Amino acid sequence: MMMKRLATSVWKLFNRACDVITLASADISGALVLFMALAIGVDVFLRYVFNAPTIWINEASRFSLLIVTFLGLAYTRREDAHIRVDFVTSRLPRQFQNWAKVIDSVVFLVFAGILCYLTWGQFMGSLQRGSVSPSLWEPLLAPWQIFIPLGLAIVGLLLICNIYTESKIALGKAKEPDKERK
């Protein structure tokens, strides 16, 4: 009994840590979207008013979009906000829908794991070579590329939490969470 309570406590701690990390990555993504909007506005102003565009804002905005995409991935999954066509699955029995969620999360976890592994290798190669972007600004690529495997690792942690929770629901050992808060 003591081991079960310990396991439950550890699981709750892991689940809470995943939640905190996911929300922090969403906050970073939101701040970067604000940065991109302001930076592009400044660049447009400088270009059209002073005929003096910057050499770094356009590329920094592209890199920021990459970070927003991968750090925002876990939050999008957490909030179940991905675009999907559920015309067929919504008409199937609830038990089938529950198991389909488990399978979806497992497949996504495998895909994210493979992609994380591959992009980690790309990051390490860029880091070791000191690769730079082929532009006038020439920033190092590794500091930007690290956010791809990092974002995939965060979504992987979230998917582990989802698989556990969704499996309990599919097995009938837990109730489905309210749509208000997952």
| Cα gap 64→116, rounded to integer Å | 19
Can you give the pLDDT at residue 11? Answer: 92
**How do the domains of the chain map onto residue ranges?**
2-170
Flag residues of the chain having pLDDT under 50.
180-182
**pLDDT (tens digit per residue) in 73-92:** 999 999 989 888 888 888 99
Instruction: Find out whether 120 and 39 touch, Cβ atoms under 8 Å.
Output: no
Can you give the pLDDT at residue 177? Answer: 74
Can you give the pLDDT at residue 26? Answer: 97
Give bridge partners of residue 140 from the DSSP assignment. 132
Q: Exposed e or buried b for every residue in 112-123, given b needs 16+ CB within 10 A?
A: beebbeebbeeb
Element holding 122 (H helix, E strand) = helix 94-129
User: Is the full-model pTM beyond 0.85?
Assistant: yes
